[in-house]
Amino acid sequence: MVLVDEVIVGGERRPELRAGEAGAELLDPGQWLMLADAVLAEAPETATGLSDPQRREARDRVELAVAAFEEVLKFIRGGEDRVSPFAFWSQPGHELQLTAAWRFEREWLESDLRRSREILAALQHETR
């Protein structure tokens, strides 16, 4: 089940998309990973030289990537070290799993998540 909450970030009210504990039902793990990749491709790793609106946008992008990586990790069953190939139901997600199965290993996902959180921390630190 995907839930939408309203959160207040930087004094602004905005919707937050998140899945329940079991993971999303609308997106498969490949789609979540593609979302993370897409938003990170457009996000700088530091806030150096960015205006305040650009910094907020960069932070928002990285926050979304963090959430997407967290969603992919929810598809890994207890005791497993990777997302099961049976967890993919979309054509793009299935194709990504076939061409880059290693990206769905717990170790790689946790590394991507850790790096995204580091970028987010740097962006948040530089915006204060």
Q: What is the 3-state secondary structure (H, E, C) of 82-122?
A: ECCHHHCCCHHHHHHHHHCHHHHEHHHHHHHHHHHHHHHHH
Q: What is the mean pLDDT of residues 47-64?
A: 91
pLDDT for 60 equals: 94
Instruction: Write the CA distances from 15 to 3, 38, 91, 99, integer angstroms.
Output: 10, 20, 28, 33
Tell whether the model's pLDDT for residue 21 goes beyond 80: no
Angle of CA points 118, 124, 128, to nearest 5°: 145
pTM summary value: 0.78
Instruction: Report the C-alpha dihedral over residues 86, 89, 90, 95, rounded to 10 degrees.
Output: 20
- Tell me what pLDDT residue 92 has: 96
Q: Residue 86 has which token pair?
A: 């049976």
Mean pLDDT of the chain: 84
Residue 43 CA to residue 45 CA, distance in Å, equals 7
Residue 4 has pLDDT above 90, yes or no: no
* Both tokens assigned to 50: 């960015």
End-to-end CA distance of the chain: 35
* Domain segments of the chain as ranges: 27-127
State how far the Cα of 81 lies from the Cα of 64, in Å rounded to an integer. 24
